[in-house]
Amino acid sequence: MKLLFLSPGYPSENPDFAYGAAEMGIQVYGVGDQPQAMLPDKARKALTAYLQVRSLWDEDAVLAEVRKWVGRQQFDRVECVWEPGMVLAARIREMLGTPGMNVARTLPFRNKEMMKQVLDSAGLRTPRHRLAKTITQCWEFAEDIGFPIILKPIAGAGSADTYRVNNADELRSVLPRLRHVPQVSVEEFVDGDEFTFDTVTINGQIAYYNVAWYRPRPLIARSNEWVSPQVIALRHVDQPDLREGVRLGFNVIKALQFESGFTHMEWYRKADGEVVFGEIGARPPGARQVDQMNFACDIDVFRGWAEAVCFKRFSQNIQRKFNVATVYKRAHGQGTIHKMTGYASLKHRYGSTFVWENLLPIGSRRRDWKQTLVSDGFIMLRHPELNKTCAIADAIGEKLNLYAG
């Protein structure tokens, strides 16, 4: 079994997917623009061979280089678990005649307007939306939809370059910040709690799914530096208040005709109980959320994904034992982190629930919080009771502080 895997060294979860495949006995052939010597150890150990290309984003050049490198070899799968490489992976599949999502099936997962048009046709509830290519269209569609609205890139990932706009004055202020974005989706703002619906799917059938709760919703976390964002993988995914969201997720997978692999969907639950689709990617969630799934059930979803896409089965034993919360921390100030407070008392009181501590050490340069949810590190914890999980996560968010200067 041969797997051609794009970008095995980046982002940070990709080496785990490559390694999971190798552990399943799959020969992993990596293609990326990093030098092989610079790949993380886990990625290097997983690879049977590696092709370094000049740039992953020059798709025509990558196709030519891969074609020459592959020669007469036959590959069973071509996979990419990083949003920007989805279409490139589809083009390579078409070139090599490899099974999997073609370009036409992939595009709705990359173009938010096309995505919603497919789901609208299937009768699924999406926010009211328009595709805007000019400033004039943004103003026209904002008036048509009515404030507040959301502006987001058509081909974006996560909540980068995404803005809530409450009135005309705010729209006038935000539009210059989107000059680098060629097309935006102008959407109805849906007020409610925000969740994920993440799947490992085999030939259109969902073999495993996860529901995570954003506290607060990502748009708020992206707009306020003082917030310590939380993502909680929920233990009881069959509870009544999630039922309609899960049903929506199953219907979205069917409507978009997704085949095999990982998906990451976001959806809203309004105060009146109505559920509304947000967006979906043909990839796993980032920010170490797949690790949350592992800790929630004591399984290995990285291997489970590889087994699903290559062998069309998912043999992991799914027993949902824990809620798993990740609390992402942002240092106060700019520059080098020089102090941390609150950690010792939190560790003493709640340390038995911690499963992963990944905070930047003293002396590190703090990261740009606008560019990464992981920010200056995180603490991941688990507990079988949701209210206790939330209480511990809130204590970490309030009492653990990093200082930079």
pLDDT in tens, 110-143: 988 899 999 999 999 999 999 999 999 999 999 9
Please answer whether residues 82 and 247 qualify as being in contact, where contact means their C-beta atoms are separated by less than 8 angstroms: no
Q: What is the pLDDT of residue 226?
A: 95
Count how many residues are written for the chain.
Answer: 405
**pLDDT tens profile 293-324:** 999 999 999 999 999 999 999 999 999 999 99
Identify the pLDDT of residue 298. Answer: 98
Over the stretch 335-363, which tens digit does the pLDDT of each residue have?
999 999 999 999 999 999 999 999 999 99
d(CA 332, CA 178): 27
Q: Which two tokens stand for residue 239?
A: 């509870």
Q: Give the DSSP letter of residue 81.
A: -
Specify the pLDDT at position 179.
Answer: 86
Cα gap 277→227, rounded to integer Å = 25
User: Which pTM was predicted?
Assistant: 0.92
Q: Which residues contact 87 (CB under 8 A, 6 or more apart)?
A: 59, 103, 106, 107, 110
Q: What is the pLDDT of residue 157?
A: 61
Interval 147-165 mean pLDDT: 81
Please tell me the predicted confidence (pLDDT) of residue 155. Answer: 72
CB atoms within 10 A of CB 203: 10
Query: What angle is formed at CA 250 by the lines to CA 281 and CA 153, rounded to 5 degrees?
Result: 25
Architecture of domain 191-320: 2-Layer Sandwich (3.30)
Dmax (CA) of the chain: 60
Q: How far is CA 226 from CA 7, 144, 263, 336, in A?
A: 33, 34, 30, 17
Residue-by-residue DSSP string for 254-279: HHTT--SEEEEEEEEEETTS-EEEEE
30, pLDDT greater than 80: yes
For the stretch 13-31, what's the b/e string if a residue is b when 16 or more beta carbons lie within 10 angstroms of its beta carbon? bbbbbbbbbbebebbbbbb
Dihedral, CA of residue 47, residue 49, residue 52 and residue 57, to nearest 10: -70
For residue range 359-384, list pLDDT tens digits in order.
999 999 999 998 888 999 999 999 99
- Assign 154 a pLDDT band (cuts: 50, 70, 90): confident
Question: Per-residue pLDDT for 158 more than 60?
Answer: no
Cite the residue boundaries of each domain of the chain with CATH code 3.90.1170.
Answer: 322-405
Average pLDDT of the residues in 30-41: 97
Contact 34, 66 (CB under 8 A): no
Q: Residue 52 is which amino acid?
A: Q
- Delimit the CATH 3.30.1490.20 region(s) of the chain: 128-188
- The pLDDT value recorded for residue 350 is 98
List CB contacts of 387: < 8 A, sequence separation 6 or more: none
Task: Average the pLDDT over 90-99 and give the result.
Answer: 97
Question: Where residue 159 falls among pLDDT bands split at 50, 70, 90?
Answer: low
Boundaries of CATH 3.30.470.20 in the chain?
A: 191-320
Q: Is the pLDDT of residue 168 over 60?
A: yes
CATH topology of domain 2-100: Rossmann fold (3.40.50)
Antiparallel, parallel or unpaired: β 401-404 and 212-215: unpaired
Evaluated on CA atoms 216, 219, 220, 225, the torsion sign reads positive
Amino acid 63: pLDDT: 98
How much is the mean pLDDT over the chain?
95
CA distance 193 to 190: 9
In sequence order, the 6+-apart residues with CB closer than 8 A to the CB of 113 are 129, 130, 131, 154, 183, 185
pLDDT band at 219 (very low <50, low <70, confident <90, very high): confident
Q: Return the amino acid letter for 73.
A: Q
Question: What pLDDT score was predicted for residue 370?
Answer: 85
Q: What is the DSSP letter of 366?
A: P
Q: List pLDDT tens digits, range 234-290.
A: 999 999 999 999 999 999 999 999 999 999 999 999 999 999 999 999 999 999 999
- Other CB atoms within a 10 A radius of the CB of residue 201 amount to 22
pLDDT tens-digit readout, 73-83? 999 999 999 99
CA atoms within 13 A on the CB side of 56: 23
CATH 3.10.450.50: does it fit domain 128-188? Answer: no
With 70 as the cut, is the pLDDT of residue 156 above it? no
Q: Domain 322-405, what fold?
A: Aldehyde Oxidoreductase; domain 3 (3.90.1170)
